[in-house]
Amino acid sequence: MTRQLAGMYAALMTGLTDDGAFSPDRQRALNAYVLRQGLAGLYVGGSSGESGLLDIEELLAQQEIVAGDAPDTVLIAHVGAPNLRDSVRLAKNAAKLGYQGLSALPPHSYPFTDAEILDYYSALQAATDLPLIVYEVPIRTGRPIGLETLVAIIDLPNVAGIKYTSTDMFKLSMLRRRAPDATIFFGFDEIYLSGAVLGADGGIGTTYNLLGRLYVALDQAFRSGDLAKAQRLQDTSARFVEALLETGVLPGMKAALRAIGVDAGPTRAPMQMRVDDGEARMAALMARPDFVEWVA
């Protein structure tokens, strides 16, 4: 069964100048690299793109630049802003630019109730005709959304599915049964295979920016029944993520990109490298044969 928007997507990162301003030139250089990796598409303006540290004008500009660079690529715009007005503005802009889908974090600036979260998604899915991918990510929002509420959200008219970034795998299996037609993306790169086994239709991840070819191969190995190969590739992914957890995920990713010649700039303050030798660590990692073979 092929579900809407299914496949492997890079959660696109953001190019910044050395002083932390949005950089169209560095964004285009990053786009060019990611687009060579054979992924199904790009997920634009999400947490991997430092969206919580960007203002809405920068996010609108990023949407436009990516749309211009990727006219033949499936694009999902993340539009989950701290307030619904900005979310709707981002959604309508993405629709105007020809994006194929939308996604959004649930509102999380305050301890919103499940009913308030349902109302938010109801308003957002009605703002355009684009299919909406909702988002379960307790590590970012501070709490999970109840299963019944998630099913109610998925049942809204323009909601196509969910990006599920949680280690509650039993909940994922229940969600797969309760929403058989929904597209489920799994959001933890280092255990993507676990999500695929339980019915995920694809993944959306930060490390796909750098190692997208690996994740495409991992997904293909699983779906063709070559579990041993899928496990080997997942182990390579896990070892890369383990290194990132020491440096900080986004600072480490940008250092790794620089090591292969793609300069996306620094991360925006207050985000910073967690170790003094982060650049050297990531350069050494990217020189290893098990990672070199996956550089696009």
- Catalytic (active-site) positions: 135, 163
Looking at the DSSP assignment, which residues form a beta bridge with residue 9? 41, 204
The C-alpha atoms of residue 131 and residue 3 are separated, in whole angstroms, by 12
Looking at the DSSP assignment, which residues form a beta bridge with residue 185? 163, 202
The C-alpha atoms of residue 13 and residue 48 are separated, in whole angstroms, by 5
How many CA atoms are closer than 13 Å to the CA of 107, on its beta-carbon side?
22
